[in-house]
Structure 1
Amino acid sequence: MAGGLRQWRLLLGVMLALTAPVVAAEGGGARAPALFVFGDSLIDSGNNNNLASLAKANYFPYGIDFADGPTGRFCNGYTIVDELAQLLGLPLVPPYSQVSSVQQILQGVNYASAAAGILDDSGQNFVGRIPFNQQISNFESTVAQIAGAVGAAAAAGRLGRSILFVGMGSNDYLNNYLMPNYDTRRRYNPQQFADLLVRQYASQLTRLYNAGARKFVVAGVGSMGCIPSVLAQSLMGRCSQEVNDLVLPFNANVRAMLDGLNADLPGARFTYLDNFRVFRAILGDPASFGFSVVDEGCCGIGRNGGQVTCLPFMPPCADRERYVFWDAYHPTAAVNVIIANQAFHGGADVVAPINVRQLANL
């Protein structure tokens, strides 16, 4: 990653660590045995590369600031879960599509897929993708592999101490509810749709629990009304309050649902990452976070760099660490690093009831 971003990560980590309770890592090494990741393009690390899909990022300039270049990450560098893996003392988590041995899965797997949603039909405009239900099935296969390798008891213990990061819901809005070729908006008002999503979500998270997972970090949907693709739809380039208001019932439902799961599932620890709050804080005072460009994608075409997203070999902006958005839909690595550090070290206003560092050391 770029030198300036490394310095920012170090500085931010030190600042947050000074206010965080000191907890020793397990055995002086990794804080958790493994990190398992479920989600969409915000945290996909290459699972769509070999699919017949329009949602791919395995080409330059994606990965321009990542050591391995274009890998399928929809970013210039680190995703949120890349930074979280580092904070947990783990290697970067490999995509499920590229895992070839049991040894590779013991420290975690990334099942996330661009265009995936909580609902199976979300994102179908992009053709190939791996919806959350299928990601869970892939995790269940992984659990069986681990049990076959180390035994059922050891596998259960390992999974129970591992961290699961789940970030779903964006595509259920951007590539379902808000798309004109779907009838979802005619069938459900925003609250009804949020209720529908979270009923399904609760069942899916319970399925992960039944597979052996116990420690969960569940991210809410961010401030989608301010991404470049939405800004570009306004001649004034303004955030859409209507789009932001759409996701608020969903986020509120998720928080309440997680409280219920914590009460109902023995041994489960679900914590909520308020992506919306973090993103709004960055957009509200970008200079304090080191940003100066908040309304334009670093790599894109048209108004706000959001009418056409980053194309193959398109020259990106030079000063990427000053940009909040990388392309029409996704944040830069600098933003991802901030969100991950807030998840790991942050207070209950951002990550509740406990942060990832505390969760890992339970």
Structure 2
Amino acid sequence: MVAMVSFGSGQEEAGGVGGGGGRPAREMVPAMFVFGDSLIDNGNNNDLPSFAKANYFPYGIDFSDGPTGRFSNGYTMVDQIAELLGLPLLPAYSEASGEQILHGVNYASAAAGILDITGRNFVGRIPFDQQIRNFQSTLDQLTNNLSADEVSRAIRRCIFFVGMGSNDYLNNYLMPNYPTRSQYNGEQFATLLVQRYALQLTRLYNLGARKFVISGIGQMGCIPSILAQSPTGACSQEVNLLVQPFNANVKTMMNNLSANLPASTFTYVDVAHMFSDIAANARSYGFSVVNRGCCGIGRNRGQITCLPFQTPCTNRDEYIFWDAFHPTEKVNIIMARKAFSGDQSFISPMNIEQLANLAIEIN
């Protein structure tokens, strides 16, 4: 297959696609592999017996293919990052086959967590451990067509984008029907999560990953779902403070992994800082609505999330939030661009563009 060369070289010519801007003339990396939750899921839950789905209108109202399972009105953050890298939009693992997998695969699943038990209220979801096993299956598919050595060399140059942890708080620790909060205080829970996270990322490393982009948790206390629970409608400082130890521990974990895993590079996307910047400078970014969803029901349009065939707001580019939990396409594109080419206040120690261009030593 001629297209196989593109996986090994990352040099295939790339045409333009819709959404957040044109793709560069050449692919900067052979592929990108994505692991995470509903913030970057693009359809892996569609066929699961799950309450965590977005494959219905008005989700995808601004996406060229309509509702695909993306929890957004259009692009997710990783859609825009793929485009900036010169890659096509990645297929969901549940739908990927044949040559589709050659530019990368998205394994993210709504309601998924670092812990397997996270998100059980939604029934079906694909926790991080299973997402890693799914990546292993993709590797097996690739090595059926290429030599193991070719795949290994290409994988070292690929970007591995991982965004986990939000659901371990929203759909585990903060859920009244989970015992977690009575078992651990905030610091203990963050320690538990990040210890597990380090083992999972090490498994990806052992499968060949070398270039990691790790996305932190955002200002969770400011999402419409949490705002709707406040009598004053203000951000919950309690929730924002709860997730801070997780982000701090993730940065420490990344430094430790970089030091102990030869030829690995980890870079951290500071989503909390990105959100703070967008919220503080909302008007300069063109946003006029910062505290309620474009589609949803109840206070802050956050008590019940976007329902099938509900009429969303018409001025979507003026909203920071699409629904009770997720940002609009416009926010996703802004954050993706900051992650791709921004300075160290948003992503450190290097941005995704620099990581893509980084030469990986072979050992």
Q: Distance in 1 between matches of 2:162 and 2:332?
A: 15
1:72 aligns with 2:69: yes
In structure 2, the partner of 1:317 is: 313
Q: Secondary structure at the match of 1:263?
A: helix
Deviations 1:175-205 (A, max 9, x none): 0000000111111110100000000000000
Q: What secondary structure is seen at the aligned counterpart in 2 of 1:229? A: helix
The equivalent residue for 2:344 is 348
Q: Distance in 2 between matches of 1:342 and 1:60?
A: 29
Note if 1:263 corresponds to 2:255.
no
Q: After TM superposition, list the pairs within 5 Å mapping 1:119-158 onto structure 2.
A: 119-158=115-154
Distance 2:262 2:97 in 1: 33
The 5-angstrom pairing of residues 168-183 of structure 1 reads 168-183=164-179
Matched residue of 2:129: which SS? helix
2:155 maps to 159
Give the distance between the partners of 1:349 and 1:143, measured in 2 at CA: 34
Deviation string 1:207-255 (CA, Å, 9 cap, x unpaired) is 0000011101000000010000000001211110000001100000000
- CA distance in 2 between partners of 1:262 and 1:307 (Å): 41
How far apart, in 2, do the equivalents of 1:209 and 1:147 lie? 17
The aligned runs of 1:39-58 (5 Å cut-off) are 39-58=36-55
Under a length normalisation based on structure 2, what TM-score does the superposition of the two structures give? Answer: 0.92
Output one character per residue of 1:72-114: Cα deviation in whole Å (capped at 9) or x when no partner. 000000000000000000000000000121x111110000000
Q: Which of 324, 330, 353 is the matching residue for 2:326?
A: 330
Aligned to 2:31: 34
| Segments of 4+ moved more than 3 angstroms | none
Question: What's the CA shift string for 1:55-88, capped at 9, x where partnerless?
Answer: 0000000000000000000000000000000000
* Corresponding residue of 1:99: 96
Residue type at the aligned position of 2:253: M
- Measure, in 1, the Cα distance between the counterparts of 2:321 and 2:126: 25
Q: What's the offset of the Cα at 1:148?
A: 1.9
Separation (CA, whole Å) in 1 of partners of 2:326 and 2:245: 22
How many angstroms apart in 1 are the aligned matches of 2:80 and 2:172? 29
Q: Which has the higher contact order (CA 8 A, sep 6+)?
A: 1
- Unpaired segments ≥5 residues, structure 1: 14-24
Match of 1:235 in 2: 231
- Paired position in structure 1 for 2:78: 81
The corresponding residue for 2:190 is 194
Structure 2 residue runs without a partner (length 5+): 1-17, 359-363
How far apart, in 2, do the equivalents of 1:308 and 1:197 lie? 28
Equivalent pairs counted in the alignment come to: 340
1:301 aligns with 2:287: no
Q: Which moved more, 1:276-285 or 1:292-301?
A: 276-285
| Superposition TM-score, scaled by structure 1 size | 0.92
